[in-house]
Structures are given as C-alpha cells and as structure tokens.
A and B are shown apart, each in its own frame.
Chain A
Amino acid sequence: MIEILETPPLNTMQDLGRVGYRGLGLGRGGVMDRLALAAGNALLGNDEGEAGLEFQLFPVRLRFTRETAFAVTGAHCEARLSGRRLPSWWATRAQAGDELVLLSPRKGLRAYLTIAGGFDVPEVLGSRSTHARDSFRRLSRAPSCCRRHLGRPCA
C-alpha cells in the first residue's frame, strides 16, 4: 500500500482513458502523456494501460507501507527515495517505510508513478481514470484517495 503524505490538488489516478462513452457525454480522460505511462508500466512488466498516478502539481510526498517495485517517468522532477536521488525514467524497489518525494520538474509538466502489478482500484466503465469535472463520485474517488491510502479500493 502507498500512503500519500502530502499532495497539492489535481493529482489523480489515470490510465489510458475511458473509451466508448462520448455518445453519453462522458469524455475519455486518461493520462496527458501516454508514452510516459506506458514506459513506466513497461519498466515493471505491467500492461501498458495499467493505471498510474499522474502528478502535475508538486511537491508530492508519499510512503510505501511494504516492499514495492515502482517507476517514475514523465517530467524530470527531482525524485528522492528516503533521501536517495533517483534518475528520471527509472524503476527501482522501495522498502516498507521508504518515503518518496517528487519536487517541481525543471523539464516537462507531468510525472507518473507506476507500481508493479498496478493499483488495486476497481474499474468504472472500463477504466480507472479519475473524472473529476463531472463529480460523479465513483469517478472522482482518486483525488481524495490520494490523500489517504492507495493500493486498496476506497469509497
């Protein structure tokens, strides 16, 4: 599980989007940087469309509650795992209790955190993407989730 210790608003869980519902007025959503998400998943052996956390506002601070293989891709934000500097577009393994800090990027806008096996959040209409604008609660759960715990479903 991952515990979000600090995040500005508008950082959400996203995958490649909710396809097939435009006719109902429901936009696709999904990550802004598809390549970065796909690369983060590839580094971990996940399917390319596995959901990740999209960070567009910083700083972000989170704690791994158990050993977890993860990747940070996308914007070149200064990432530190319990003080140790991580390269961009890199995968590594966190131990239980490790803290990950992401600072404002010097290049690029959005950074992505993916974890091996993906996040255990149920799909809604075929996607795990947060859909904040419509404020349908089941689609907007990730932002509040992010402030609490990720890695398990929450209401």
Chain B
Amino acid sequence: MSVNRDVTVLQEARVSFCGSTAVLLDAEGPLALATQERIWRLSDKARQWEGVVDTQPGMNSLLVVVDSRTADLEALAARLRETWPSVPSGRIAGRLIEVGVVYGGEGGQDLPEVAAFHKCTPADVAKLHAEPEYTIFAPGVSPGFGYLFGLDPRLFTPRRQVPVMRALGGGVSIAGVQSNLGKPYVEGSAKTAPTGWYMIGRAPDVPSPFDFDRTPPNLVSLGDRIRFRVDRVEA
C-alpha cells in the first residue's frame, strides 16, 4: 500500500497565489522535520514583513496573508522565493508533553478496523503508535495540538472515503501519514463532528492547549513534542 501515492513531492519550492490576499509557498521534498523547522523560521520572519498580516505554517507549506488594500503580491512572491533557500533548519527547543491513552473501546472504536487493515492486533497498533515521539508540525483547523508528525510508516492509513461522526474531546486518531490529539471536550459545545480519520484511542487527562485568559493564549507551540503512553488497550 502506498498512502503517499497521490501526494506530489516537488523537486523545487513552488510559490503560488491564493486569491488576492495570500501567497502560498510549497516546500520541495517530502515531509521532514528539517524542512518543517525552516518553515517555522520563515513564518516568524515573514510576519515581520511590511504588509503581512498573518502567516500559517502547513504541512510542508507556508501561507502568507497580506492586507489586500496595500499588498504587492508579486513582490511578496519574489521575496518568498528569494528568502526560502537561505532559511536555516535546526532544532527549535520544544516542550515534551506525555499523554496517557486508553486505546480502543469507547472513543477509540476504530482500533479494530485499523488493526484489521494492517493485519495485526489492536495491541500491536497501540504499541506502534505509542513508540515514536511526535512533533507538532502545523496548526490544525482549530486551536489545539495541531498536525502531528512522526507516525510509524507501518501505521500509515488512507483516510476514509466517506466521513463518519465521532466524539470530540481527547480523541487520539490517525489518517494518512499523520496523527492527531483532540483537545479536552468543552462543555456546551458540539459532542461529535464528521471526520475521515480513524479514532484509535482517547486521552482522558489531555491538558487544555489553549486559554483565552492567558497571553499568549496557546499553551502548546509548533515544535513541541508529544509522547503517547499506553495506559490500557480495550477490546
């Protein structure tokens, strides 16, 4: 099986326009920590550029958002192209967060399906998943633990063709080459959401990654690392 079959690996970086307010840089080569470190650095750098109002690192990419009333998108694209090759990599010291996980059972109900797909046992999946250290590579679609890099290639699992409804709150999931950790459930919010990911476990004591009463509000940052601990595997 090749999960990466449809992912284009670029030979050289590509810069393209996203509407009239943003420019996207796609990095060359496959997903890699060294490349992602450069993306984080370029993100910090570009935020200081005149006319730039926001930046968003993606997996192997960087979106630079400008004020459309004053922006010169061509100049910005050129500046990104010129700057990117000289941006250094190098470890950005991130925190290590350990999170206990109950694999399988309620909230991890897709574990048997993932095990069957990889022709192994649920306990094997739990062990393989908890072995590596994961790095927060890019922000997700809401404030949280973002997209995690580090999944063992033996667990690469294509996304579902048809989304399913799954519970929110401390869910541990995998899809494609990535893993994800859900923030704690917020009282009064939606209890479920549609997803193409596989829920393989839940983290009952997951810490909150975001607090509006703090400055800055994020309690985890890009480059922080997460280690999952197998607390239990349920049938």
Contacts and interface: CB of A to CB of B under 8 A. Distances in A.
Interface of A: 19-28, 124-125, 133-140
Interface stretch (B30-38, B111-119, B139-147): B139-147
Interface of B: 43, 53-57, 63, 65, 139-144, 146, 186, 188-190, 210, 212, 216-218, 222
Given A134-B142, A134-B143, A138-B212, A22 B55 contact: yes
In the A-B complex, the 10 residue pairs with the smallest Cβ-Cβ separation, listed nearest first, are A135-B189, A25-B139, A22-B56, A25-B143, A134-B142, A135-B186, A24-B218, A22-B54, A20-B54, A138-B212
A25 B55 CA distance: 11
A137 B53 contact: no
Majority secondary structure of chain B interface residues (helix, strand, loop or mixed): loop
B143 A26 contact: yes
Nearest to A124: B212
A25 B146 CA distance: 7
Contacts of A21: 54
A50 B140 CA distance: 29
B54 A125 contact: no
Contact of A23 (B55, B144, B188, B210): B55
Nearest to B183: A134
Nearest to A133: B142
26 contacts: A19-B53, A19-B65, A20-B53, A20-B54, A22-B56, A22-B65, A22-B139, A23-B56, A23-B222, A24-B139, A24-B210, A24-B216, A24-B218, A25-B140, A25-B142, A25-B146, A26-B142, A26-B143, A27-B141, A28-B54, A124-B212, A125-B212, A135-B186, A135-B188, A136-B212, A139-B212
